[in-house]
Amino acid sequence: MPSLHQRFADLSNDEVKRYSRHVIMPEVGMEGQRRLKASSVLLIGTGGLGSPLALYLAAAGVGRIGLVDYDVVDFTNLQRQVIHGVSTVGASKLDSAETRMLDLNPDISVEKYDEPLTSENALRIFADDWDVVIDGTDNFPTRYLVNDACVKLGIPNVYGSIFRFEGQLSVFYAEAGPCYRCMFPEPPPPGLVPSCAEGGVLGILPGTIGTMQATEAIKLLLGIGDPMIGRMMLYDALEMSFQTIKLRKDPNCPVCGIAPEDIELIDYEQFCGMPAHDHSEFSSVDESADLDIRTVTVQDVKTALDNGDDVVVIDVRDPHEWDISVIDGTLRIPKPDIQLAKNGIQGGRRLWEETVLKDIPKDKTLYLHCRSGVRSADSIAFLSEVGYDLDKMYNVEGGILAWADEIDPAMPKY
Amino acid sequence: MATIRIPTPLRAYTEGESNIEVGGDTVGEALANLVGKHPELRMHLFQDDELRSFVNIFIGDEDIRFMQGLETEISADDNLRIIPSIAGGRQRK
């Protein structure tokens, strides 16, 4: 595929020296390096995928790099977000990333968009003359938004996605092949695997996938090699296997199958049924939103356990989280098991006594907790659908994180 | 027997198994045998008897949507894959 643009910028002698390992390769050469300097790439997210992307694209000499993020660096980011560091915990991710990028290469320019990407701002941000957009987000609503906005504006979208030990890579460029929606017309609904499966990611995985995204971006800009248009690479770190599958353009695709001017950005949080980011007002909407669920504090839980009250405290986190921390005296049943049991009972496939719910008494007061209080509220909603009394169930506010803060400061937080 | 590769998110419902051998002459029969072995997978793959729209099944590198769907014939040495829709490792609340 030919390069995306025919702009060239002059290189100083220092720059020729800096990029000498590029320039001596005929596939790049002086012309290619001058082209990279005149190129622009927009990164959505400066997290796990965004870290290697920003570092390597800066080092490679992409002249103008845009960053979209709204978050601050958190200590738990450092397991994988290698552009940040202990010295920037608490600082804006944009500022932290910019400082590191310009330290690596002061000859580039960094443009910062300090806002969550939304349907309201996406077209404005994307229209700032970007040759390539790279999707480094961590959630479905933003992925659909990035795709639709790129299709509308005719910008290639270098897609990378990660989950635990698996990664996916593709280039969605509707002018030359399929888009994200041709492959994934709609997201899995919340509550169904994979969307509700255990979270987490091998810290190295975004490094693997992010550097491959950077490779694809550079290939598109230079017009060399075979871009991953119409193909998806599937990576499994545990097997150390790579497989490429073919993607096809869907002529009936609701986005790339219609005229770009007819593409309208929608409410992607509504579409996906989940929030796009932590600051989203949608965060409060979930399975339990319509119910008036009672709450207790971690102090109430401690008092009940200490006094031996006739209360059952249930921990609905996943088993691997119990290895990190538990409150003694709790009954442990993961939320997905409660959900499966509820579905089985409602679908007429299981009787109550054949499910994990048989261990949860219907006549006692129940206190449910998870990590911070969302999954336990959902679990209360599920239980109320299969005969448990909503007035006897209480959600533990703040979950085990609040317990660690207020009751047991020695408990690790995660 | 054909082999079906189970992606990480669904392995919770196959007792951790990643590659499962199943009998069947078509994709539909193979998947029916799979959910017969692992009933909890059913709700994640099917809505009534239809594949859920976000579930992608490939034979080798080809999408069954561009073949004959669940009617696509398979042979014993075929490798089927379930391609999950994944978004990232976002922390659960």
Residue numbers of A annotated as active site: 196, 370
Per-residue pLDDT tens digits for A269-281: 888 877 787 767 6
Structure tokens at B24: 């069947």
Give the closest of B8, B9, B61 to A244, CB-based.
Answer: B61
Q: Do B7 and A139 touch (CB under 8 A)?
A: no
Strands of the A311-315 sheet, one edge to the other: A294-296, A393-396, A365-369, A311-315, A331-332
- Assign A287 a pLDDT band (cuts: 50, 70, 90): low
Give the closest of B10, B43, B58 to A343, CB-based.
Answer: B43
A370 touches chain B (CB under 8 A): yes
Interface predicted TM-score of the whole assembly (ipTM), two decimals: 0.91
Amino acid (1-letter code) at residue A237: A
pLDDT of residue A284: 41
Interval A88-96 mean pLDDT: 97
Taking a C-beta distance cutoff of 8 angstroms, is the pair A288, A381 a contact? yes
- Assign A191 a pLDDT band (cuts: 50, 70, 90): low
Taking a C-beta distance cutoff of 8 angstroms, is the pair A325, A400 a contact? yes
Residue window 199-218, chain A: list those with CB within 8 Å of chain B.
Answer: 199-201
Non-local CB neighbours of A83 within 8 Å, separated by 6+ positions: A46, A50, A51, A52, A54, A55, A96, A97, A100, A101
- Residue boundaries of the structural domains of chain A: 13-283, 294-406
In a domain, B28, yes or no: yes
| Tally of structural domains, chain B | 1
Q: How far is B34 from chain A (nearest CA, A)?
A: 17
- Assign B10 a pLDDT band (cuts: 50, 70, 90): confident
Per-residue pLDDT tens digits for A45-87: 999 999 999 999 999 999 999 999 999 999 999 999 999 999 9
| Nearest C-alpha neighbor of A84 from the set A76, A211, A43 | A76
Question: Would you put residue A308 in left (φ > 0), alpha (ψ -120 to 50) or beta?
Answer: left
Radius of gyration of chain B (CA): 13
Taking a C-beta distance cutoff of 8 angstroms, is the pair A18, A58 a contact? no
In a domain, B78, yes or no: yes
Fold of A13-283: Rossmann fold (3.40.50)
pLDDT of residue A408: 95
In a domain, B90, yes or no: no
The answer, yes or no, to whether residue A126 has pLDDT greater than 60, is yes
In a domain, B89, yes or no: no
Considering only CB atoms, which chain B residues are within 8 Å of A187?
54, 85, 87
Per-residue pLDDT tens digits for A213-232: 999 999 999 999 999 999 99
pLDDT of residue A195: 42
Domain of B29? 2-83
Per-residue pLDDT tens digits for A137-166: 988 999 999 999 999 999 999 999 998 899
Distance CA A135, CA A382 (A): 34
Per-residue pLDDT tens digits for A355-408: 899 999 999 999 999 999 989 999 999 999 999 999 999 999 999 999 999 999
The answer, yes or no, to whether residue A196 has pLDDT greater than 50, is no
Return the CATH superfamily for domain A294-406: Rhodanese-like domain (3.40.250.10)
CATH number reported for the structural domain that contains residue B30 in this entry: 3.10.20.30
Structure tokens at A28: 């790049």
Residue with tokens 């317990």: A403
- In the predicted model, what is the mean pLDDT of chain A? 92
Task: Look up residue A189 and give its DSSP letter.
Answer: P
Q: Which residues of A384-403 are buried (b: 16+ CB within 10 A; e: fewer)?
A: bebebeeebbbbbbbbbbbb
Interval A242-266 mean pLDDT: 95
B84 touches chain A (CB under 8 A): yes
Per-residue pLDDT tens digits for A316-355: 998 888 989 999 999 999 988 898 888 888 878 788 988 8
